[in-house]
Structure 1
Amino acid sequence: MPLSAGDVQPALSLWPDLAGGTARLINHSENQTFLVETERRGRFTLRIHRPGYQSRPAIESELAWLTALRRDTDVPIPEPIPGRDGRLLQAFKTPAEKTHLAVLFRFADGIEPAPDNNMCELFRTLGRYAAQLHLHATQWQRPEGFQRPVWRAASILDADGLWGDWRIAPGVDAAIRSVLDRTDSALWRRLSEYGLGEDRFGLIHADMRLGNLLVDGSNVTLIDFDDAGFCWFVYDFAAAISFHETHAAVPGLRSCWIEGYRTMRPLGDEHVEAIDSMVMLRRMALLAWIGSHAETRLAQTHRRGFAAGTAQLAERYLRGALWPK
């Protein structure tokens, strides 16, 4: 069950800017996000972390990278606000005495873009953002004790994957299971062949989906680094088309993303060819996520037919390509 405004009221006292503020839930996905409105200081977003998902050191590491990106790049990213004690990460207890971790961000204007056939410029922007983040990650000196998830075949495809087990996701019947078992094996093989070289694997956002973008005119703000971790760089494209992998516009969006990426960082053909595997890997991750997060509106929205759509995508992957060359 999501927390109520009353549950998070004790958290507001941890930030001077929130004095007299009121909170209301605006999103419940991996974490819970509240809009906090104040008379004097304006609006903020308060992120309440899902218990047991990310550890305190992992969240502090996320915030360290986010802070460095705001300092070193021009990618629009929300500003985290320190609490009374100067720390970005805070802990509070609900009236029921349950402890939660929380981070406050200055409110960013914009709305989530809707999937349509006129998103080429948006995906060029996402390609540029991804390349800038990857460049930064390869040059940035990470602080001691830096911890983030590792998104590899094992942590996504295995039964104890970070987002759950795709094998027990809704809609995975015997026929679909057979196709996805073969896809699982093919992914292990192809990802092993692609490898983990420094030119292709490193720290990424890992969740640049439409729900983590705020579009305000020509400005696109990238939010929610909660899943940021170590993965293949081109996985960031796969994340960008999350839940929409079968949309007819995707091949064109792929081209636009690559164009944008290449304006900031080289992307050779070997990496472009790996995109199909990343899209299939992400789709398997989302299938598992829908099963393990059934209480969320996002999972409920996409649940129907998602396993069947994943199997159809997998059949194309096993035949050699998700989209015509």
Structure 2
Amino acid sequence: MTVDSTEDDLVAREALIRYDFSARTDIRMINLSENATYLVHDPTTGRDGILRVHREGYHPVRSIESELMWLDALRRDAGVETPISVRARDGARVITVHRESRQRHAVLFEKIGGIEPDEDAVCATDFKTLGALTARLHRHARTWRRPRQFHRFSWDWDHTLGKQPRWGRWQDGIGIGIGELSHLSEVATLIGQRLRAYGASADRFGLVHADLRLANLLVDDGHINVIDFDDSGFSWYLYDFGSAVSFIEDDPRLPEWRSAWIAGYRDVATLTSEEEQMLDTFVMLRRFMLVAWMGSHSHAREVQEKGSDYTAGTCELGERYLSSSGASI
């Protein structure tokens, strides 16, 4: 995926006009991944905000509006603190900026206080909190009567490691040679076998955040805001654990963090022993997806930091996964 941050800036500037920000408004890009996210400050009015400029073609307007519906419902029904969207001058929550023959969508959110947990000081308590939050989202998703017009994509087998992988083919990841391809193909086959045996019944497969990790929590004076629902969609509920340990799957502290996450989850909702035994399969599923994602996101910070070492680490985890017949990594 090629990224043109200059175009993102132009789209952001044009979008802010629709929200009645002044020409003096300052924008600063704070994240560039699937989308470009900006911190916005208007010195004329004192208004602040967070503007998300969507990657072209990733979500249609209907899907973005559906994401905002879930954010509203979580705040209202489950007491989960989520970003609050701001309506444009015409009342729209999702606006479209036309660039020649192309369309880019954007959403403005109220500015949220807080900082994400320090990656260098992560402890089991953080993962217990994350597990409890995850269970609250799952509990809500299982009982929420979604509006008829609600639409989000799926992270099922076909759209993760199957025929239509949304983040690209893992086989095209960085550092995939003949040896890696042969070895990881065996691992992928075992992941698929275990997922098929586990099944996708309604109690196991539903609406999930799909990127619920510590980096997407903002902690502010005891309040925890859950952010970045852009990847939310339908998948196995326990896929959220695979997401929780993204890029740290081979950390030696993972067993401790895993236990803490489980304890936090069970404080809120049921997690059976069968489900617990599937957690490492979802870690491997997510790991393969990130190998694919890194292959097409050369601009991302994680790619710059990890590169082909991430694929090599995936091979090591895969060896342990195969040796245990998928029971552990």
Question: What TM-score do the two structures reach when normalised by structure 1?
Answer: 0.93
Matched, 1:225 2:209: no
Partner SS state of residue 134, structure 1 = helix
SS at match of 1:113: coil
Q: 1:55 aligns with which of 57, 60, 70?
A: 60
Q: Given the alignment, which residue of 183, 187, 192 partners 2:196?
A: 192
Counterpart amino acid of residue 319 in structure 2: E
- Checking the alignment, whether the CA contact within 8 Å between 2:130 and 2:214 is kept in structure 1 is no
> Following the alignment from structure 2 to structure 1, what is the Cα–Cα distance between the partners of residues 97 and 213?
30
State the Cα distance separating 1:296 from its structure 2 match. 2.5
How far is the alpha carbon of 1:53 from its aligned partner? 0.9
- Map of 1:36 onto structure 2: 40
Alpha-carbon separation, structure 1, partners of 2:299 and 2:121: 30
Question: Secondary structure at the residue paired with 1:221?
Answer: strand
1:158 aligns with 2:167: no
Asked if residue 69 in structure 1 is aligned to residue 70 in structure 2, the reply is: no
Partner residue in 2 for 1:242: 246
Q: Is the 8 A contact 1:245 1:279 kept in 2?
A: yes
Contact 1:49 1:102 in 2 (8 A): yes
Which aligned pairs between 1:220-299 and structure 2 lie closer than 5 A?
A: 220-299=224-303
Is 1:133 aligned with 2:157?
Answer: no
Task: Supply the distance in 1 between the matched residues of 2:177 and 2:103 (Cα, whole angstroms).
Answer: 39
Among 83, 108, 113, the alignment partner of 1:109 is 113
> Which of 67, 78, 84 is the equivalent residue of 2:83?
78
Amino acid at match of 2:262: I
| Residue number in structure 1 paired with 2:19 | 15
Name the residue aligned to 2:328: 322
Specify every segment of 5 or more residues in structure 2 that has no aligned partner in the other structure, as ranges: none
Return the alpha-carbon distance in structure 1 between the equivalents of residues 264 and 50 of structure 2. 30
Comparing 177-186 with 37-46, which one deviates more in the overlay? 37-46
**1:230 corresponds to which letter in structure 2?**
F
Query: 1:271 is paired with a residue of what secondary structure?
Result: helix
Worse overlay, 144-153 or 188-197 = 144-153
Amino acid at match of 2:171: R
Change in 2 beyond 3 A, CA 1:213/1:251? same
- Which one-letter code corresponds to 2:280 in the other structure? D
**CA-CA distance at 1:248 after TM superposition:** 1.3
**Closer, same or farther in 2 for the Cα pair 1:141/1:99, shift >3 Å?**
same
Matched residue, 2:187? 183
Is the alpha carbon distance of 1:276 and 1:4 closer, same or farther for their aligned partners in structure 2, counting shifts above 3 Å?
closer
Of all paired residues, the percent bearing the same amino acid is: 41
Instruction: Name the CA distance, whole Å, in 1 between partners of 2:158 and 2:266.
Output: 30
Would the aligned equivalents of 1:116 and 1:249 in 2 still touch at CA under 8 Å?
no
Give distance in 2, aligned partners of 1:69 and 1:85: 25
Q: How far 1:115 sits from its partner (Å)?
A: 2.6
Paired residues, what number?
322
Q: Which moved more, 1:143-152 or 1:265-274?
A: 143-152
- In the alignment, structure 1 segments of 5+ residues that lack a partner are none
Q: More deviation in 300-309 or 222-231?
A: 300-309
Q: 1:31 to 1:206 in 2, by over 3 A?
A: same
The match for 1:46 is: 51
Distance apart, 1:217 and its partner CA: 4.5
User: What amino acid does structure 1 have at the position aligned with 2:78?
Assistant: T
The Cα of 1:117 is off from its aligned counterpart by 5.8
Contact 1:29/1:296, CA 8 A, preserved across alignment: yes
1:263 shift after superposition = 1.2
Q: Which amino acid in structure 2 is aligned with residue 216 of structure 1?
A: D
Is this contact kept in 1: 2:11–2:97, CA < 8 A?
Answer: no
2:96 aligned residue: 91
Secondary structure of 1:290's aligned partner:
helix
Q: Give the superposition deviation at 1:97.
A: 6.9
The secondary structure found in structure 2 opposite 1:278 is: helix
Normalised TM-score (structure 2): 0.92
> In the alignment, which residue of structure 2 is the partner of 1:300?
304
**For 1:13, what is the secondary structure of its paired residue?**
helix
